[in-house]
Chains A and B, each alone.
With several copies, the nearest count.
Chain A
Amino acid sequence: MDLNLSTNAKITWCPGCPNSQILVAFRQAVTELVAGGKLKPENLVALSGIGCHGKITDYLNVNSFTSLHGRVIPTMTGVKSANPSLTVVGFSGDADTYDEGIEHFIHAARRNSDINLFIHDNQIFALTTGQATPTTPKGFKGKSTPFGSIEEPFNPLLIMLSSGATFVAQTFAGDIAGTKRIMLSAMVHKGFSFVSIIQPCITFFDTRDHYKERVYWLDDSFPKNDLSAAIAKVMEGGGKTPLGIFYQVEKPTFEEELNK
């Protein structure tokens, strides 16, 4: 089979933007799934929110639904519950999901909707030219906070673990192989899969060096089915940023229960 995952759309991310690495990792993951007979290309649906991240649907020659800012998650659940044989992947941003539509984030996790949510977390509103999001460090000087943001960031991994997500992972856009691996695991997982992708915005908040020094992969012995261990891990201080799968368990999915 000749799998063409590219469209004619011109890529309009800033040259060097790690979003391109996410795109590459995803294409590789899909290629691998298709080659392995685990996925028919027509059964893949890619959705996105609005932001730099959201441009990705234009660059993927697969079924797609470019949704509204903050609303990709319910749209994904809609797709999956209408046709459970589809593999539903959503790309979203930190403003998109942690600000505008965070209600859906919590509830999709709670109901264990069988969808895969990949957050391009650049700790910034990028497409609107640089304002602080819920993951931006306090004190950040952006367009809407020129004297420094006054809000503490939160920890989306912890929020997910508290909300019932059955797959919680983190990866770093710069590590294409690692990102591909996590994406694969997420897509194969039955239930709500949350992947936080650390994606430095090289234009408005360039954290490439910061993270390159700090990220590390969980080692294989990390217990994936222990909620308390996962919570402790994601709350761990010490200036390091763990990557890998923090938590993965099986529970009945929303769509299974709905279509029962």
Chain B
Amino acid sequence: MAKQIKPIMTVGIGGAAGDGIREAGSNLGILLNDVGLKTHFSFKYPSLIRGGHNYSRLSFSKEKIFYDYKKLDVLIALNEESIKRHLGELNKNAIVFAENFDDEDKKALGENAISLPLTEFITNIKAPSITRSSVALGALCYLLDLPLGNMTKIFNEIFRAKSPETNILLAEMGYKHLEKLNIKHSNLIAHELINSPTAEFIDGNTAVARGLVAAGLNTYVSYPMTPSSSILHFLASQERNFKIKVIHPENEISSINMALGMAYAGERVAVGTAGGGFALMQEAFSLAGMAEVPLVVAVSQRHAPATGVPTHSSQSDLRFVLHAGHGEFPRIVIAPGDPEESFRAGADALNLAWKYQLPAIVLLDKHVSENMTTSTINPKSVMIEKGKILISVDSSYKRYALSKDGVSPLAFPGTPNAVVKFDSYEHDEGGITTEEIPTIKAMQEKRFAKYASLAKEFKNFETVKTYGDPKSKNVIVFWGSTKTVLLEAAKYFKKTVKILQILWLEPFDVASVSKNLKGAKKIINIESNHNGQLAGLIREKTGIEVTNSILRYDSAPFDPLELAETLNKLI
């Protein structure tokens, strides 16, 4: 920390919903990846379909960049509102692209206000309004010295089905327009084209979906709900490619109960939703615990309670998922902080769900789900853990046979001789309903034996991660998406600190967390919720009380520089 930071540039793209602001941002991110730059991209939008203010922001650098910055080096404003909103956020020498500038803007920006004849260009070739952003991207290529040819490649890729020519043509027109004006940005970051980049520019939802697929997903079942929906959309679009099935049923209750039926019949399944949709799945989630059904649930948090603010983020569902479902039963809860961890969490959750025959939650939020960053994803690194599956049995087969590790061998219906009985009532080893006290006790203990087995696995997984100085007495602790903004903020820390990330919230790796916190002079907890839920969990599990909690519950993201300032004061 506090070492020399390599130059960083930030581009903002603003416009109305329906202007393709997100797509423009993600296309730019792919392009930056092609030239070896690392990028972090966030996208802000209101809950509406047309109009309002949509805003893409990308920061990039030669070194790993964890989060994007407020201050812009380039602003692409596809409407007047976007100029007004972000005028106060410009770095020195920042360039603003827009169709028109009013007198005030011109005065403020001087020669850094660059007019692009967007409407003229698209009208000339009879292109729809949404393609205006392609003109701007072309112009940006010239401004930042990015290879226009790669932009063309990207358009070819993305619009394969829908004729990319229009966008390519418009990008060229934008590029030439700037070439004619001969304007280059004054703070260019050097870069060079990479032939086949190993990194990719990806969001958490896509990553978790690919993690699931890498671990052998057969079917994904989901009812749409922001910010989880892009898992559904991505997997549906890749149905044939990945040879999976994707089902969108009548509601969340149907989704999870269908999934339980599929797992019973032998399919590796996942469901996905947001906090409010998961609220509807509680009863069936409890059934997964009782019947010991392998199931992954991806829960992406948004501002709540109730309908809340659908497109704003939150970390307020930690306790909710830890205690989801009536009754007590083992579960796994993993909260990744970025796309690479999301990929891993998706794969691990599915494998562990099958190894231990229990429900596993991947806990995301709007930021992890939707922010994009330059990441390295390696599906080949994932081994499929099939679990204790029997493909042939004799008629003495018992679905809930008691076993020391809590895991009974699993046969699927259709296996000759097997009579496979799943039961939502408390049951005996054969899966027949019981009200006998000793059997009930034995079954409760069998199910919870899985935790003992899982504890032995802790060492095989990154249940916690640390960053910074492992010996520092100042410890910052966090979970989930705070990772990105915090690690970016850490570049500006004045003192050395240890940063502790808790990835596995359940089972909780008490020993590791205790070890990392014990002896700390100061423990600062950072969460995007009101109650400081992680702080409570740490105290419950380890007895250790954090010194401070930095809590944000207004649904807005942290800013890396502001966070660094706050932390520098505290440490």
Q: Please determine whether A81 and B418 come into contact, CB atoms closer than 8 angstroms.
A: no
Q: Does B389 contact A (CB under 8 A)?
A: no
Alpha-carbon distance between A83 and B258 when the two chains are bound, in angstroms: 13
- Inter-chain contacts of A43 with B (CB < 8 A): 413-414
- Are B51 and A12 in touch, CB under 8 angstroms? yes
Within the complex, the shortest CB–CB distance from B498 to chain A, in Å, comes to: 41
Distance A203 CA – B128 CA, assembled complex (angstroms):
13
A145 near B258 with CB under 8 A, answer no
Q: Is B266 an interface residue (CB 8 A)?
A: yes
Asked if B164 is an interface residue, CB under 8 A from chain A, the answer is no
**B248 and chain A: residue at smallest CB distance:** A144
Is there an interface contact between B49 and A82, defined as CB atoms closer than 8 Å? no
Say yes or no for B140: interface residue by CB 8 A criterion.
no
User: Which residues from 195 to 227 on chain B have a C-beta closer than 8 Å to any C-beta of chain A?
Assistant: 218-219, 221-226
**Is the CB–CB distance between A55 and B413 below 8 Å?**
no
The verdict on A147 contacting B433 (CB below 8 Å), with A50-B307, A79-B413, A125-B224 known, is: no
A65 contacts across to B, CB distance below 8 A: 260-261, 264, 291, 421-423
A86, B266: Cα distance in complex, Å: 12
Does B466 sit at the interface, judged by CB under 8 A? no
Given A14-B18, A14-B50, is A62 in contact with B419 using a C-beta cutoff of 8 Å?
yes
Report the interface size class on chain A. 35 or more
* Chain B residues whose C-beta falls within 8 Å of the C-beta of A127 in the assembled complex: 47-49
A93 CB, min distance to chain B CBs, angstroms: 13
Q: Is B90 an interface residue (CB 8 A)?
A: no
User: Is there a chain B Cβ closer than 8 Å to A229's Cβ?
Assistant: no
* Interchain CB contact (< 8 A) of B247 among A52, A203, A258: A258
- Report how far A55 CA is from B431 CA in the complex, Å: 12
Query: Which residues of A (69-109) have their CB < 8 Å from a CB of B?
Result: 69-71, 74-83, 85-86, 99-104, 107
Most chain B CB atoms below 10 A, which of A55, A63, A258: A63
**Chain A residues in 8 Å Cβ range of B253:** 71, 74, 101, 103-104
Any B CB within 8 A of the CB of A7: yes
Q: Which chain B residues lie closer than 8 Å to A40 at the CB level?
A: 416
- B250-279 contacts to A, CB under 8 A, are 250-251, 253-255, 257-267, 269, 276
A68 and B283 contacting across the interface, CB-CB below 8 Å: yes
| A42-B417, A129-B229 known; A100-B250 Cβ under 8 A | yes
Residues of B within 8 A of A103 (CB): 250-251, 253-254
User: In the complex the two chains form, is B284's CB within 8 Å of A64's CB?
Assistant: no
Query: CB-defined interface of A133-176 with B at 8 Å, one 1/0 digit per residue?
Result: 01000000001111100000000000000000000000000000
Whether the Cβ atoms of B262 and A81 lie closer than 8 Å is yes
CA distance A75 to B257 in the complex (A): 5
Interface centre among A66, A76, A147 (most CB of B within 10 A): A66
The 3 closest A-B pairs by CB, nearest first: A78-B261, A14-B50, A82-B265
Can you spell out 16 A-B residue pairs with CB atoms less than 8 angstroms apart? A42-B416, A47-B261, A65-B421, A66-B307, A66-B422, A68-B276, A75-B257, A75-B261, A76-B261, A78-B262, A79-B261, A82-B261, A103-B254, A127-B49, A134-B250, A143-B233
